Amino acid sequence: MKGCIFDLDGVIVDTAKYHYLAWKKIADEFGFVFTEKDNERLKGVSRMASLDILLSIGGVHLSEGEKLQVADKKNEIYLGYILKMTPDEVLPGVLTFLKTLRDQGIKISLGSASKNAKTILHQVGIENLFDAVADGTNVSKAKPDPEVFLKGAELLNLSPADCVVFEDARAGIEAAHRAGMKCVGIGDSVTLREADIVVGGFLDLSIEKGKLKIINNGEILNF
Ligand code: B16
Ligand code: MG
């Protein structure tokens, strides 16, 4: 393992709650119900694909031009939330984990579908810990396509096989594997069973001599 590539939403921060509030406002204006369960379907999905899912839930049909307007409006509402984010919203254990990677000479990239990724990293005060950012601004194909992780490795000047991905979504795990990378699932072990290993969060992981270690059983991963 020479590089680590992190998904953003659900791995570094929980922005899903802000995406939900913004999409819900749009649904409210169209007059249909959009639940938190529905919102699960939007995790890791690009903005325009999320809009298509939302509109299908409401049975709303729009032209391509109208869709772009609605997506812009959703993003304005979303920005209102993320511009208020603070460093205490970085998920537990993430900061120590990132700093330990740096101390041990392992490179760090982001691998996110979001076009707002850099704004979020800046808001929560961790942009300086990243050597590279692959996100919705320099990648066009959505996960499970491997493009975002291949871009992350390329920006770090590393071969894919030297990189490990951290993901909370099944599409992201598939993307990592298609990129030829090992993947650590962050979240539920049943949902994320395709990952090479699953942990609940970064408090369950440490780094020892450049290798990942599972804290509760002392297992050192041979990645
Ligand atoms: P934006 P990730 C994803 O982030 C979110 O999970 C998904 O809900 C969102 O639609 C997507 O980013 C695009 O975000 O509208 O900010 O460009 O998990 O890939 O970090
Ligand atoms: Mg995610």
Domain regions of the chain by residue span: 3-13+87-221, 16-82
Ligand in nearest proximity to the CA of 118: 1
What's the pLDDT at 175?
Answer: 97
For 80-103, what is each residue's pLDDT tens digit?
Answer: 999 999 999 999 999 999 999 999
What's the pLDDT at 50?
Answer: 96
* DSSP strand pairing (205-208 vs 211-214): antiparallel
Q: Whose CA is nearest to atom 6 of ligand 1?
A: 44
The yes-or-no answer on residue 131 being catalytic is no
Closest by CA to 11, choosing from 47, 43, 53, is: 43
What's the pLDDT at 146?
Answer: 98
Catalytic position from the list 9, 131, 135, 168: 9
Residues 146 and 179 sit within 8 Å (Cβ to Cβ)? yes
Residues 138 and 151 sit within 8 Å (Cβ to Cβ)? yes
CATH number of 3-13+87-221: 3.40.50.1000
Strands (E), the chain: 3-6, 107-111, 132-134, 163-167, 182-186, 197-199, 205-208, 211-214
What token pair was written down for 15? 């922005």
The yes-or-no answer on residue 9 being catalytic is yes
* C-alpha–C-alpha distance, residues 73 and 56, integer Å: 18
Residue 142, φ and ψ in degrees, nearest 5: -80, 150
6 pLDDT band (50/70/90 cuts)? Answer: very high
Q: Whose CA is nearest to atom 16 of ligand 1?
A: 114
CATH number of 16-82: 1.10.150.240
- Among the atoms of ligand 1, which is closest to the Cα of residue 148? 19
222 pLDDT band (50/70/90 cuts)? Answer: confident
- Average pLDDT, integer, range 202-206: 97
Q: Measured in angstroms, how far is the CA atom of residue 213 from the centroid of ligand 2? A: 22
Q: Measured in angstroms, how far is the CA atom of residue 113 from the centroid of ligand 1? A: 5
- Residue 220: DSSP 8-state: B
State the maximum Cα–Cα separation within the chain, in Å, rounded to a whole number: 55
- Among the atoms of ligand 1, which is closest to the Cα of residue 7? 20
The pLDDT of residue 44 is above 90: no
Residues 1 and 165 sit within 8 Å (Cβ to Cβ)? no
Q: Tell me the whole-structure pTM to 2 decimals.
A: 0.94
- Average pLDDT, integer, range 102-108: 97
- Average pLDDT, integer, range 9-21: 96
The answer, yes or no, to whether any atom of ligand 1 lies below 6 A from the CB of 121, is no
> If residue 98 lies in a helix (H) or strand (E), which one and from where to where?
helix 94-103
Share of the chain above pLDDT 90, in %: 96
Residues 74 and 23 sit within 8 Å (Cβ to Cβ)? yes
